[in-house]
Amino acid sequence: MSDRDMKQQQVLQALSALANATRLEIVRLLVPLGEEGLAAGRIAARLGLSASALSFHLSSLEQADLLTSQRISRQVFYRANHARLGNVISYLLNDCCAAHPQIRRCCTTAAASND
């Protein structure tokens, strides 16, 4: 498997993980918390999810390397993997979209001009 295919494979897994309302919310919640992270139970409470539903989605995100987890006593803290998120966005912009000027413009201006 070529380097490029491997990279694409990882990006596809990340996109699949992000292509779900619940998981996108999880990422939105965790990104601003940075290294602090948040315990699974807290995430579940914040988003109104059952423990097992949450666990299902967290593992999907962790498999895609978009989150990391760390057990601290009874709780498991989850953190966003900012580097990986950056990679995914960068792939879309640079590899997939060839850094097309019109597409790139959206990401360099603070608020994207829509439609």
> Considering beta carbons, is residue 76 or 93 the nearer one to DNA?
76
75 binds DNA (CB under 7 A): yes
Q: Which does 29 bind (CB under 5 to 8 A by kind): a second copy, DNA, none?
A: none
User: C-beta of 110: minimal distance to a second copy in Å?
Assistant: 7
C-alpha 91/C-alpha 87 separation (Å) is: 6
Backbone conformation region of residue 71, classed left if phi is above 0, alpha if psi is from -120 to 50, else beta:
beta
Interaction pattern, residues 93-112, with a second copy; x per rule: CB under 8 A = xxxxxxxx-xxxxxxx-xxx
Tell me if 56 contacts DNA by CB under 7 A: yes
**Shortest Å distance, C-beta 4 to DNA:** 19
Q: Order of strands, edge to edge, in the sheet holding 38-39? A: 38-39, 75-80, 67-72
Give the integer Cα–Cα distance in Å for 39 and 45: 10
For residue 6, the partner it binds in a second copy, DNA, none, with Cβ less than 5 to 8 A by kind, is none
The answer to whether 4 contacts DNA (rule: CB under 7 A) is no
- The three-state secondary structure class of 115 is coil
